[in-house]
């Protein structure tokens, strides 16, 4: 009886260690999401490998062959050979050698195939662990570049959050006070670099550094965006890394907000009265045209007004049915937090998106910045 209980405890501890304490339904949902993401990756590469997109390519064998080569192409040449060898050995009928009593017999090569596959798995895991370690360092550096808490400005509440789709993100947000002839001004910026992961994150870091540098020498928000755009064009080698951005400057004394929307999702200004306004004035995304023209918008905030600036990862977040969270749900959530402070509004938005998405894999970076004016 005691031995049976010990065995049960060992099995339970083994399962908890193996599953990281997750329930079976959670494990299945995670596996389902990862399988969908992997299929999208391999299916995309299958198309890039020029598999004919006609009726015949939809046959199961053609689809499987395309996915197989898309998957195998991710391995190094040496590992591809081992992988294919392992598959062949798994179905090899075996052999028998020798004469008389000196005979060597192997019924099949399934065991050898399994050993090769486990060896390949170990090599791939070693690569992944090394890459993961490097990405974690990059993530830590990236967090240094963006503020962890908002600046203290009389009459203003702020909250922001970012959630990368991968370890590092291409979204950027910033908020800092800079001196001006009219006193201290609050500068806000939210940007979204085209693409995800490391390439977008590297460009995001250069954008952050350039904005901080330009903000020290350029006082006019419109000129600031124009010079920021020229910098983005210089960095956009090949013309594939444009950036949508929303830049605004708030005068805390007069509550006048001057902004430029460079191809970004229209921020939402919810008035204390409940009216909604979208901040559209600006121009095209940064990095596309060196001499692009931009316009400046101006608006005066009142006590209790809430400004929401977000990236498209929020409204385009998908659940398992591939339905988008959408602006309708976002605006409904924003309205439901009337009178709440900035932190409560932010938590409500992120929680609403999380509940809608469920356990579906996140496919784009999500960033939100919430600003609320209060009586001074």
With 0.85 as the threshold, say if the pTM is over it. Answer: no
Lowest-confidence region among 41-45, 84-88, 170-174, 265-269: 41-45
Confidence of residue 306 (pLDDT cuts 50, 70, 90): very high
Confidence of residue 69 (pLDDT cuts 50, 70, 90): confident
Rounded to an integer, the average pLDDT of 36-59 is 57
| Antiparallel, parallel or unpaired: β 243-251 and 183-193 | antiparallel
**pLDDT higher than threshold 50 for residue 48:** no
- Which class is domain 149-373? alpha beta
**pLDDT higher than threshold 90 for residue 307:** yes
Question: Which percentage of the chain shows pLDDT scores above 90?
Answer: 35
User: Residue 234: what pLDDT?
Assistant: 84
Three-state SS sequence of the chain: CHHHHHHHHHHHHHHHHHHCCCCHHHHHHHHHHHHHHHHHHHHHHHHHCCCCCCCHHHCHHHHHHHHHHHHHCCCCHHHHHHHHHHHHHHCCCCEEEEECCEEEEECCCHHHHHHHHHHHHHHHHHHHHHHHHHHHHHHHHHHHHCCCCCCCCCCEEEEEEEECCCCCCCEEEEEEEEEECCEEEEEEEEEEECCCHHHHHHHHHHHHHHHHHHHHHCCCHHHHHHHHHHHHHHHCCCCCCCEEEEEEEEECCCCEEEEEEEECCCCEEECCCCCEEECCCEECCECCCCCCCCCCEEEECCCCCEEEEECHHHHCCECCCCCECHHHHHHHHHHHCCCCCHHHHHHHHHHHHHHHHCCCCCCCCEEEEEEEECCC
Domains of the chain, residue spans: 24-93+106-138, 149-373
User: Residue 5: what pLDDT?
Assistant: 75
Non-local CB neighbours of 149 within 8 Å, separated by 6+ positions = none
User: Residue 327: what pLDDT?
Assistant: 94
What is the pLDDT of the chain when averaged over all its residues?
Answer: 82
Confidence of residue 168 (pLDDT cuts 50, 70, 90): low
User: Residue 299: what pLDDT?
Assistant: 96
109-158 confidence digits (pLDDT tens):
777 888 888 888 888 888 777 777 766 766 676 676 778 888 999 999 99
312-329 confidence digits (pLDDT tens):
999 999 888 889 999 999
């Amino acid at each position: 009886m005691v031995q049976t209980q010990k065995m049960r405890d060992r099995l339970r501890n083994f399962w908890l260690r193996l599953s990281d304490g997750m329930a079976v339904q959670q494990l299945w949902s995670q596996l389902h999401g990862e399988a969908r993401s992997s299929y999208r990756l391999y299916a995309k590469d299958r198309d890039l490998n020029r598999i004919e997109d006609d009726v015949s390519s939809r046959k199961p064998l053609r689809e499987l062959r395309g996915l197989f080569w898309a998957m195998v192409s991710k391995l190094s040449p040496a590992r591809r050979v081992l992988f294919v060898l392992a598959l062949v050995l798994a179905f090899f009928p075996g052999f028998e050698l020798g004469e008389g009593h000196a005979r060597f017999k192997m019924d099949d090569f399934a065991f050898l195939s399994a050993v090769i596959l486990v060896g390949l798995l170990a090599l791939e895991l070693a690569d992944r662990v090394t890459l993961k370690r490097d990405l974690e360092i990059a993530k830590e550096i990236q967090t240094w570049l963006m503020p962890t808490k908002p600046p203290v400005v009389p009459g203003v509440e702020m909250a922001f959050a970012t959630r990368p789709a991968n370890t590092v993100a291409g979204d950027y947000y910033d908020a800092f006070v800079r001196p001006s002839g009219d006193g201290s001004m609050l500068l806000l910026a939210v940007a979204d670099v085209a693409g995800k992961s490391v390439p977008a994150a590297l460009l995001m870091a250069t954008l952050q550094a350039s904005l901080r540098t330009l903000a020290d020498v350029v006082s006019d928000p419109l000129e600031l965006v124009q010079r920021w755009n020229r910098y983005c064009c210089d960095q956009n080698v090949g013309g594939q890394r444009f950036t949508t951005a929303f830049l605004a400057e708030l005068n805390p004394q007069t509550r006048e907000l001057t902004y430029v929307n460079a191809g970004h999702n229209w921020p939402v200004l919810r008035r204390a009265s409940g009216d909604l306004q979208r901040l559209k004035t600006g121009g095209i995304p940064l990095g596309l045209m060196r001499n692009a023209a931009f316009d400046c918008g101006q608006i005066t905030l009142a006590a209790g007004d809430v400004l929401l600036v977000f990236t498209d990862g929020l409204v385009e977040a998908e659940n398992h049915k591939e339905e988008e969270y959408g602006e309708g749900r976002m605006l409904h959530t924003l309205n439901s937090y009337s009178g709440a402070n900035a932190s409560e509004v932010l938590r409500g938005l992120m929680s609403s998106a999380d509940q809608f998405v469920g356990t579906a894999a996140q496919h784009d970076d999500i960033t939100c910045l919430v600003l609320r004016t209060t009586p001074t």
